[in-house]
């Protein structure tokens, strides 16, 4: 599909399946499942006949455009794409030939429970799930405090320890026997992200659901993509805040001259981060840019905070009305700060 046509189609999907539901998503924990499915059915998750660099650029753009209107929905797309990134790296024929087409078509949606893996390999957290070898697969026990983008017909990706020397990556459907989900909707934002605590009681994972039996080698391959795809969450929210500031700036140019930071400074900073992000996406060897990606992920978390706080100042009293888009973006920015890897973790890693 031509890029211009893709952009038109994506905007149509956003207008029809996302914009009318943003307040419900933010205020009533409404999960935008129809929107995600529509994005998939529009062909935006497929990687067929595309270079991996083109896939990355398109998927970053999808997250960015969605985040302009609703970071919750953009985050659920990130969850699905994070799972896709894992599936695409698997050497398991069943995953490649059977599961991957279902996820790329949008017929089946997925979340990712790899936060624990990222923290474990950074030396920040113990492994929460244990695996035992059994006939035809593994049994998994333990718990994950938060996994997002889950519904009764979804799948997700997990990380578990087999022994001191081996860790594995698997996928499983939400309705598998032995898995209990506990809904989490007490956040200041992102309640529409379909986030659950997950409790595993000897959950059986057949071999055909195993993404990799060598997690120590697998995680460094997928980690740069997971971090890279978080950056457009902040780019989209920041762009929306800047556009809001621009509208108000016209009305009170003289008074706004006194506010710091100035609008032009925010625009320039965001453009630098955005250009850098797409440059990484076009790099053939994403792993070689791992450190730079983490630094940019740190930059966008800090910049998004700066931009949305500026929007609060520029917007004045209307920003403090219940249900205002400005206040929603402020809350969304704090999610980005605490999304693993958090600012604290990034400062440690970088």
* Beta carbons of 302 and 343 less than 8 angstroms apart: yes
> Which of these, 232, 211, 207, 210, lies nearest to 221 by C-alpha position?
211
* Beta carbons of 85 and 222 less than 8 angstroms apart: yes
What b/e readout covers 293-327, taking b as 16+ CB neighbours within 10 angstroms? bbebbbbbbbbbbbbbebbbebbeeebeeeebbbb
- What pairing do the DSSP bridges indicate for beta strands 110-112 and 155-163? parallel
Supply the pLDDT for residue 247: 84
Distance (Å, rounded) from C-alpha 45 to C-alpha 13? 14
- 105: its two tokens: 């078509």
Q: How far is CA 63 from the centre of its chain?
A: 8
Supply the pLDDT for residue 98: 96
Supply the pLDDT for residue 144: 98
Domain ranges of the chain: 3-105, 110-215, 230-349
Residue-wise pLDDT for 115-126, tens only, equals 999 999 988 899
Residue-wise pLDDT for 251-306, tens only, equals 666 666 667 788 999 999 999 999 999 999 999 889 999 999 999 999 999 999 99
Residue-wise pLDDT for 249-259, tens only, equals 656 666 666 67
Mean pLDDT of 143-156: 97
CATH number, domain 3-105: 1.10.540.10
> Which of these, 343, 342, 261, lies nearest to 306 by C-alpha position?
261
Query: Any idea which fold 110-215 has?
Result: Butyryl-CoA Dehydrogenase, subunit A; domain 2 (2.40.110)
> What burial class does residue 94 get, using C-beta atoms within 10 Å of its C-beta: 0-12 exposed, 13-18 middle, 19+ buried?
middle
Q: Residue with structure tokens 């605590």?
A: 197
Of the candidate CATH numbers 1.20.1080.10, 3.60.15.10, 1.20.140.10, 3.40.50.11540, the domain formed by 230-349 belongs to 1.20.140.10
- Flag whether pLDDT at 215 surpasses 90: yes
* Beta carbons of 170 and 158 less than 8 angstroms apart: yes
> Which of these, 173, 283, 278, lies nearest to 235 by C-alpha position?
278
* Beta carbons of 25 and 36 less than 8 angstroms apart: no
Alpha helices in the chain (DSSP H): 3-17, 22-28, 33-41, 52-67, 71-89, 93-94, 100-105, 115-121, 215-228, 231-251, 253-256, 263-281, 290-315, 325-338, 343-349
Q: Which residues 6+ apart lie within 8 Å of 162 measured at CB? A: 130, 131, 132, 133, 138, 168
Residue 199: which H helix or E strand, with range? strand 196-206
- 79: its two tokens: 């969850």
Distance (Å, rounded) from C-alpha 124 to C-alpha 347? 13
Cα atoms found within 13 Å of the Cα of residue 161, Cβ hemisphere only: 15
> Which of these, 58, 158, 60, 46, lies nearest to 111 by C-alpha position?
158
Residue-wise pLDDT for 40-70, tens only, equals 999 999 998 889 999 999 999 999 999 999 9
Residue-wise pLDDT for 101-116, tens only, equals 999 999 999 999 999 9
Distance (Å, rounded) from C-alpha 88 to C-alpha 86? 5
> Which of these, 192, 215, 210, lies nearest to 92 by C-alpha position?
210
The dihedral region occupied by 190, where left means phi > 0, alpha psi between -120 and 50, and beta the remainder, is left
């Amino acid at each position: 599909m031509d890029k211009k046509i893709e952009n038109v189609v994506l905007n149509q999907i956003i207008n029809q399946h996302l914009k009318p539901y943003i307040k419900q998503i933010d205020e009533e924990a409404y999960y935008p499942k129809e929107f995600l499915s529509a994005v998939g059915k529009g062909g935006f998750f497929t990687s067929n006949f595309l270079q991996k660099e083109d896939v990355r650029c398109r998927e970053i753009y999808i997250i960015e455009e969605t985040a302009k209107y609703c970071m919750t929905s953009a985050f659920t797309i990130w969850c699905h794409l994070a799972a896709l990134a894992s599936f695409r790296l698997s050497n398991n024929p069943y995953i490649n030939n059977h599961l991957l087409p279902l996820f790329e078509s949008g017929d089946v949606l997925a979340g990712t429970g790899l936060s624990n893996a990222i923290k474990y390999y950074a030396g920040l957290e113990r492994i929460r799930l244990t695996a035992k070898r059994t006939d035809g697969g593994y049994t998994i026990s333990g718990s994950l405090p938060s996994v997002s983008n889950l519904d009764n017909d979804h799948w997700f990706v997990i990380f578990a320890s087999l022994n001191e020397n081996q860790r594995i990556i698997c996928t499983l459907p939400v309705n598998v026997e032995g898995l209990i989900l506990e809904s989490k909707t007490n956040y200041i934002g992102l309640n529409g992200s379909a986030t659950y605590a997950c409790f595993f009681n000897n959950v059986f994972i057949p071999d055909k659901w195993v993404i990799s039996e060598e997690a120590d080698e697998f995680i460094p391959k997928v980690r740069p993509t997971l971090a890279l795809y978080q950056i457009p969450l902040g780019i989209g929210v920041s762009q929306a805040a800047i556009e809001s500031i621009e509208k108000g700036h016209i009305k009170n140019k003289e008074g706004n001259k006194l506010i710091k930071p100035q609008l032009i400074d925010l625009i320039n900073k965001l453009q630098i981060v955005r250009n850098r992000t797409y440059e990484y996406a076009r790099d053939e060897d994403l792993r070689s840019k791992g450190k730079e990606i983490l630094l940019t992920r740190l930059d966008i978390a800090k910049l998004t905070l700066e931009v949305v706080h500026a929007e609060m100042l520029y917007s004045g009293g209307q920003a403090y009305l219940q249900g205002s888009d400005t206040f929603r973006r402020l809350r969304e920015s704090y999610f980005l700060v605490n999304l693993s890897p958090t600012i604290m973790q990034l400062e440690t890693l970088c």
